[in-house]
């Protein structure tokens, strides 16, 4: 059975209104070449600044595939996926790289660099951008304020717990004030208590103006979020 979504169909956003979505997916029908199965059938998705969107659904419904579209890892068909109303099917490699630097990506397995300290991991994207050290310090202090990482900032990565590693990954994603952060099952390796701690950080990050896309199949987490923040839920179905 093809995937359908409950989200209501959206009209072409009006670029002149100034309220254009960060991401707009319009009637996207798509499947992996190898499987010959349609994964998305006339799928619609709309992400606006300050949204807290949760993408949920059972295993194999296409959540991670959708993430791959949203981080520019799968090239969409023409006129189906837009970033600020720019057709992402037309992005070349350089534009994809530039796009990725504007978003913050968080994975289930953290993807930290073991040879660097937590602090070095967090500021790494800014150093790559040749940002002045005083600016880097200010931005680091701001994420430290939100995530409280100073006590572990020089601990070896391999000595950190899963929850601490995920905090470092979240700080790295948030530090450059991305257009949105996208997290694919960030609590997948964490226990109940740590899951709620991640939820609290995401809630706080959203309250201070960050746009969040969270992928999870964890209903407990979704229910917790719904109690604390105005969540937009997108459910994928088989």
Which residues contribute to the site for Mg ion (CB under 5 A)? 63-64
Residue count (the chain): 238
From 60-68, 105-113, 160-168, 221-229, span contacting ligand ADP (CB under 6 A): 60-68
What kind and span of H or E run contains 105? strand 103-106
Instruction: Choose one: 11-19, 61-69, 96-104, 203-211; the region binding ligand ADP (CB under 6 A).
Output: 61-69
Look at residue 32 and give the partner it binds from ligand ADP, Mg ion, none, a contact being a CB closer than 5 to 8 Å depending on partner kind. Answer: ligand ADP
Residues 3-42 that bind ligand ADP (CB under 6 A): 32, 34-35, 39
Between residues 63 and 172, which has the closer beta carbon with respect to ligand ADP?
63
Give the chain's end-to-end CA distance (angstroms, integer): 6
Q: How far is the CB of 34 from ligand ADP (least distance, A)?
A: 5
Q: Could you give the C-alpha distances from 200 to 88, 175, 226, in angstroms and in order?
A: 32, 17, 12
What is the spatial distance between Cα 62 and Cα 44, in angstroms, rounded to a whole number? 14
Bridge partners (DSSP) listed for residue 52:
212, 231
The entry of ligand ADP, Mg ion, none that residue 194 binds, CB within 5 to 8 Å by partner kind: none
- Distance, in Å, from the CA atom of 192 to the CA atom of 207, rounded to the nearest integer, reads 23
Q: Is 73 in the site for ligand ADP (CB under 6 A)?
A: no
| CB closer to ligand ADP out of 8 and 34 | 34
**Which is closer to ligand ADP, CB of 59 or CB of 151?**
59
Q: H/E/C letters for each residue in 21-55?
A: CCEEEEEEEECCCCCCCCCEEEEEEEECCCCEEEE
Binding residues for ligand ADP (CB under 6 A) = 32, 34-35, 39, 57, 59-65
């Amino acid at each position: 059975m093809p995937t359908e979504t409950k989200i209501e169909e959206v009209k072409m956003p009006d670029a002149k209104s100034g309220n254009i979505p960060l991401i707009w997916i319009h009637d996207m029908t798509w499947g992996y070449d190898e499987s010959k199965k349609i994964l998305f059938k006339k799928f619609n998705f709309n992400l606006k600044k300050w949204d807290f969107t949760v993408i949920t659904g059972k295993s194999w419904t296409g959540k991670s595939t959708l993430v791959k579209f949203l981080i520019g890892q799968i090239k969409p068909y023409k006129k189906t996926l837009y970033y600020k109303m720019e057709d992402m099917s037309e992005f070349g490699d350089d534009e994809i790289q530039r796009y990725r630097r504007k978003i913050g990506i968080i994975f289930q397995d953290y993807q930290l660099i073991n040879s660097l300290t937590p602090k070095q991991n967090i500021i790494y994207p800014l150093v790559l951008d040749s940002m002045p050290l005083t600016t880097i310090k200010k931005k680091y202090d701001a994420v430290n304020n939100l995530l409280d990482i100073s006590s572990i900032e020089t601990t070896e990565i391999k000595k950190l717990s899963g929850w601490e590693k995920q905090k470092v990954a979240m700080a790295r994603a948030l530090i450059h004030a991305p257009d949105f952060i996208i997290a694919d099952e960030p609590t997948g390796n964490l226990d109940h208590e740590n899951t709620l701690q991640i939820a609290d950080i995401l809630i706080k990050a959203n309250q201070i103006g960050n746009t969040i896309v969270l992928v999870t199949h964890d209903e407990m987490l979704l229910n917790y979020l719904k109690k604390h923040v105005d969540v937009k839920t997108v459910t994928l179905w088989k």
